[in-house]
Chains A and B, each alone.
Chain A
Amino acid sequence: SLKLDAPVEEKELPPHACAYCGIHSPSSVVKCLTCNKWFCSAKGSAFSSHIVNHLVRARHKEVQLHPESSLGDTVLECYNCGTKNVFILGFIPAKSDTVVVLLCRQPCGASTSTKDMSWDISRWQPLIEDRAFLNWLVTPPTDAEQLRARHLTPPMIAKLEEMWKEAPNATVADLEKSAGVDDDPHPVLLKYDDPYHYQNIFGPLVKMESDYDKKLKEAQSEDGLQVRWHLGLNSKHVASFILPKIESGDVKLAVGDEMRLKYKGELRPPWEGVGYVIKIPNNQSDEVEVELRKSANDKSVPTECTHNFSADYVWKATSYDRMQLAMKTFAVDEMSVSGYIFHKLLGHEVQVAPTKITMPKKFHVPGLPELNASQIAAIKQVLSNPLSLIQGPPGTGKTVTSATIIYHLAKMSNSQVLVCAPSNVAVDQLCERIHRTGLKVVRLTAKSREDVESSVSFLALHEQVRMNTTNKELDGLVKLKTETGELSSQDEKRFKQLTRQAEREILQNADVVCCTCVGAGDPRLSKMKFRNVLIDESTQSAEPECMIPLVLGCKQVVLVGDHKQLGPVIMNKKAAKAGLNQSLFERLVKLQFTPIRLKVQYRMHPCLSEFPSNMFYEGSLQNGVTAAERLRKDVDFPWPVPETPMMFWSNLGNEEISASGTSYLNRTEAANVEKIVTRFFKAGVKPADIGVITPYEGQRSYIVNTMQNTGTFKKESYREVEVASVDAFQGREKDFIVLSCVRSNENQGIGFLSDPRRLNVALTRAKYGLVIIGNPKVLCKHELWHHLLVHFKDKKCLVEGPLTNLQPSLLQFGRPRQAYR
Chain B
Amino acid sequence: EEEEIVVTRQQEEVDPEEEAEFEREFAKMMAESLDSRKFERKQQFDLPLPIKLKPRESTAVGESSAANEAGPSEAPPSGEKMAFSLLTKKGNRQQTRTVELPSDSHFAIAMKKKQQAEKEE
- Please list the residues of chain A having a beta carbon within 8 angstroms of any beta carbon in chain B: 25-27, 45-48, 52-53, 55-57, 59, 61, 67-74, 77, 79-81, 83, 85, 87-88, 91, 93-94, 96-111, 114, 117-119, 121, 123, 125, 131, 135-137, 139-140, 142, 147, 153-155, 158, 338-340, 343, 348-353, 555
Beta-carbon contact of B3 and A352 below 8 Å? yes
Residues from chain B with a CB closer than 8 A to the CB of A155 are 15, 18
Beta-carbon contact of B67 and A139 below 8 Å? no
- Find A353's partner among B4, B30, B38, B71 (CB 8 Å cutoff): B4
B15 CB, nearest partner CB in chain A, Å? 7
Chain A residue nearest to B96 (CB atoms) is A99
Chain B residue nearest to A153 (CB atoms) is B12
Q: Mark B80-106, 1 if CB is under 8 A from A, else 0.
A: 001111111100000011111110011
- Cα of A94 to Cα of B100 in the assembled complex, Å: 16
- Cα of A131 to Cα of B89 in the assembled complex, Å: 26
Known: A88-B33, A99-B85. A111 touches B45 (CB 8 A): yes
Beta-carbon contact of A125 and B107 below 8 Å? yes
- Cα of A53 to Cα of B114 in the assembled complex, Å: 37
Beta-carbon contact of A27 and B73 below 8 Å? yes
Known: A47-B19, A70-B98. A79 touches B46 (CB 8 A): no
Residues from chain A with a CB closer than 8 A to the CB of B98 are 70
B10 CB, nearest partner CB in chain A, Å? 9
Q: How many residues of B contact A (CB 8 A)?
A: 67
Residues from chain B with a CB closer than 8 A to the CB of A83 are 37
- Cα of A59 to Cα of B29 in the assembled complex, Å: 7
List the 5 shortest-distance A-B pairs measured between CB atoms, nearest first: A72-B67, A45-B12, A353-B4, A106-B37, A87-B33
Residues from chain A with a CB closer than 8 A to the CB of B72 are 27, 69-70, 139
- Find B87's partner among A68, A79, A555 (CB 8 Å cutoff): A79
Residues from chain B with a CB closer than 8 A to the CB of A80 are 43, 45, 47
B2-47 with Cβ < 8 A to chain A: 3-9, 11-12, 14-15, 18-19, 22, 25-26, 29-30, 33-34, 37-38, 40-47
- Cα of A348 to Cα of B6 in the assembled complex, Å: 10
- Cα of A45 to Cα of B14 in the assembled complex, Å: 7
- Find A68's partner among B19, B29, B67 (CB 8 Å cutoff): B67
Interface residues of chain A: helix, strand, loop or mixed (majority): loop
- Cα of A86 to Cα of B23 in the assembled complex, Å: 17
- Find B67's partner among A70, A111, A555 (CB 8 Å cutoff): A70
A59 CB, nearest partner CB in chain B, Å? 7
Beta-carbon contact of A55 and B29 below 8 Å? yes
- Find A47's partner among B14, B38, B67, B114 (CB 8 Å cutoff): B14
A21 CB, nearest partner CB in chain B, Å? 14
Residues from chain A with a CB closer than 8 A to the CB of B34 are 88, 105-106
B62 proximal to A (CB < 8 A): no
A405 CB, nearest partner CB in chain B, Å? 20
Residues from chain A with a CB closer than 8 A to the CB of B29 are 55-56, 59, 61, 87
Beta-carbon contact of A121 and B53 below 8 Å? no
Chain A residue nearest to B67 (CB atoms) is A72
Beta-carbon contact of B76 and A140 below 8 Å? yes
Residues from chain B with a CB closer than 8 A to the CB of A56 are 22, 25-26, 29
